């Protein structure tokens, strides 16, 4: 059996795992990212948690085939450089060269959303597909595109920014500077914003009571209110799903993947989200009468997708 190290570098935590060639995580380790601090110190900690995971797995470094790193920002996978990451404060950081001074193994780097998508492709909801798109509904809307088994990242390694395609040019301003991006409406952040706006328009909504009980408005508030029979909660959910369906239909029309998987905490809603979403997308896609249409599924790997995808970046490259 062969073993690989996958590192998921985040703004809050650094997570590493040892993954077998059967796509099973054998052991994991993690530490806080503790931003801001120098890139070299963060790389040293990435190596430290990776070696901790190897030790927890009961393996030696000689049994490790390669190391992969998933990082926020623009990752030049050919040169092994994190060209820019505003979240981490990195600029032209030669992460692969430095990692090899700590762990002398083949090393690869890729954008974190791409790595997570690749994880779903090799071991999760998109396994068996030739072409796949993965969309993550979190603080923003992340995207990863797999074409003929390879990660597509564009000529400048900044491709797959599906969240920054515009749905409504008159919509709210996005963090990227454009107005009405897919991310503004379909992220968990966007859902929370729409929930709050609806609550202020309807002071009788049960969502006010839920807000008092939970201490905050979350991405679940509107769904919970809908289940409780609240009219305003249902209106928010319907509005959110309409925007999500629009963005997904746009993506399908461009790429026509075998599978499009969606992940993120919002997807824990299951059928109340997925069933109306599929119905709306089916009405909006260009290929309504095609013999083969894109299958929309919920991502399977959760927070492990980034580790598993990073571990097998060598397969993609």
Question: Do residues 311 and 255 both lie within one domain?
Answer: no
Question: Do residues 136 and 244 both lie within one domain?
Answer: yes
Q: Total structural domains in the chain?
A: 2
159/152 Cα distance (integer angstroms): 7
Question: Do residues 40 and 165 both lie within one domain?
Answer: no
- Domain harbouring 105, CATH code: 3.30.420.40
Question: Do residues 233 and 102 both lie within one domain?
Answer: no
The pTM for the full model equals 0.90
145/161 Cα distance (integer angstroms): 10
Query: Coil, helix or strand for 75?
Result: strand
Q: Is residue 130 within 8 Å of residue 148, measured between CB atoms?
A: yes
Question: Do residues 172 and 185 both lie within one domain?
Answer: yes
What does the DSSP assignment read for 100-168? HHHS-S-EEEEEHHHHHHHHHHHHSTTTT-SSEEEEEESSSEEEEEEETTEE---TTS----GGGSBS-
Residue linked to tokens 């002071």: 203
Question: Do residues 57 and 92 both lie within one domain?
Answer: yes
pLDDT tens digits for 274-314? Answer: 999 999 999 999 987 776 889 999 999 998 999 999 999 99
pLDDT tens digits for 195-228? Answer: 999 999 999 999 999 999 989 999 999 999 999 9
**Domain residues for 282?**
129-299
Question: Do residues 179 and 92 both lie within one domain?
Answer: no
Quick one: CA torsion of 96, 100, 101, 102, rounded to 10 degrees? 110
Question: Do residues 105 and 166 both lie within one domain?
Answer: no
Question: Do residues 231 and 295 both lie within one domain?
Answer: yes
Question: Do residues 145 and 293 both lie within one domain?
Answer: yes
pLDDT < 70: residue spans in the chain = 291
Question: Do residues 165 and 51 both lie within one domain?
Answer: no
Q: What pLDDT score does 67 carry? A: 98
Question: Do residues 153 and 282 both lie within one domain?
Answer: yes
């Amino acid at each position: 059996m062969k073993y690989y190290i996958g590192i998921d570098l985040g703004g809050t935590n650094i997570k590493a795992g040892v993954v077998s060639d059967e796509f099973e995580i054998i052991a994991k380790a993690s530490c806080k990212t503790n931003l801001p601090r120098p890139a070299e110190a963060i790389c040293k900690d990435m190596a430290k948690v990776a070696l901790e995971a190897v030790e927890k797995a009961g393996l030696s470094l000689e049994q490790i085939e390669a190391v992969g790193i998933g990082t926020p920002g623009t990752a030049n996978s050919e040169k092994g450089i994190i060209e820019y990451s505003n979240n981490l404060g990195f600029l032209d950081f030669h992460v692969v060269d430095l990692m090899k001074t700590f762990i002398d193994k083949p090393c690869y780097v890729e954008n974190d959303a791409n790595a997570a998508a690749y994880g779903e492709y090799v071991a999760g909801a998109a396994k068996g597909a030739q072409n796949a798109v993965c969309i993550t509904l979190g603080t923003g809307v992340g995207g990863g595109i797999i074409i003929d088994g390879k990660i597509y990242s564009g000529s400048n390694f900044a491709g797959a920014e599906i969240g920054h395609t515009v749905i409504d040019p008159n919509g709210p301003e996005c963090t990227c500077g454009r107005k009405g991006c897919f991310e503004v409406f379909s992220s968990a952040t966007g859902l929370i914003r729409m929930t709050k706006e609806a609550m202020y328009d309807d002071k009788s909504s049960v969502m006010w009571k839920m807000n008092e009980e939970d201490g905050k408005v979350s991405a679940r508030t509107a769904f919970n209110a809908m289940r409780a029979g609240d009219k305003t909660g249902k209106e928010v959910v319907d509005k959110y799903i309409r925007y999500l369906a629009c963005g997904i239909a746009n993506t399908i029309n461009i790429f026509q993947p075998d599978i499009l998987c969606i992940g993120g905490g919002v997807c824990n809603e299951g059928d109340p989200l997925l069933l109306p979403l599929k119905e709306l997308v089916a009405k909006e896609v260009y290929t309504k009468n095609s013999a083969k249409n894109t299958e929309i599924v919920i991502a399977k790997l959760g927070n492990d997708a980034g580790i598993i995808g990073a571990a097998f970046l060598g397969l993609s490259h």
